């Protein structure tokens, strides 16, 4: 299934703001909080590209590790602005 709704994905920017330069370092910090969290290969894929699906547990641990809010990582414009672009 392809996501046709526009999503702005800013995980890499949030990592930089938190002083994290690599997916390896981000994964190490995530594992320190939750041993059963996202696998490294999955994390490496979503650093620069929004995933089609995202586990809520993963999203929560990302906000904790990065010291940010969900809206800092991703942005979904209101439905009205999407309909205007169509």
**Which H or E run includes 8?**
strand 8-9
Q: Alpha-carbon Rg of the chain, whole angstroms?
A: 14
Give strand pairing partners of 9: 74
- Please report the pLDDT score of residue 1 as a whole number: 41
Domain ranges (residues) in the chain: 8-85
Local structure of residue 65 (DSSP, 8 states): H
Dig out the tokens for 20 from the structure. 């994290």
5: pLDDT strictly greater than 50: yes
More confident residue, 2 or 42: 42
Q: Which CATH class is domain 8-85?
A: mainly alpha
Q: Which pLDDT tens digit goes with each residue over 20-74?
A: 999 999 999 999 999 999 999 999 999 999 999 999 999 999 999 999 999 999 9
Q: Dihedral, CA atoms, 50, 45, 60, 13, nearest 10 degrees?
A: -70
pTM of the predicted model, to two decimals? 0.85
Distance CA 65, CA 15 (A): 9
- Please report the pLDDT score of residue 86 as a whole number: 52
């Amino acid at each position: 299934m392809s996501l046709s709704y526009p999503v702005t994905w800013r995980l890499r920017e949030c990592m930089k703001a938190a002083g994290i330069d690599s997916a390896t370092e981000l994964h190490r910090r995530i594992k320190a909080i939750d041993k059963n969290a996202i696998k490294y290969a999955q994390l490496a894929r979503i650093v620069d590209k929004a995933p089609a699906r995202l586990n809520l547990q993963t999203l929560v641990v990302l906000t904790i590790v990065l010291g940010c809010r969900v809206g800092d990582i991703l942005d979904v414009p209101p439905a009205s602005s999407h309909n205007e672009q169509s």
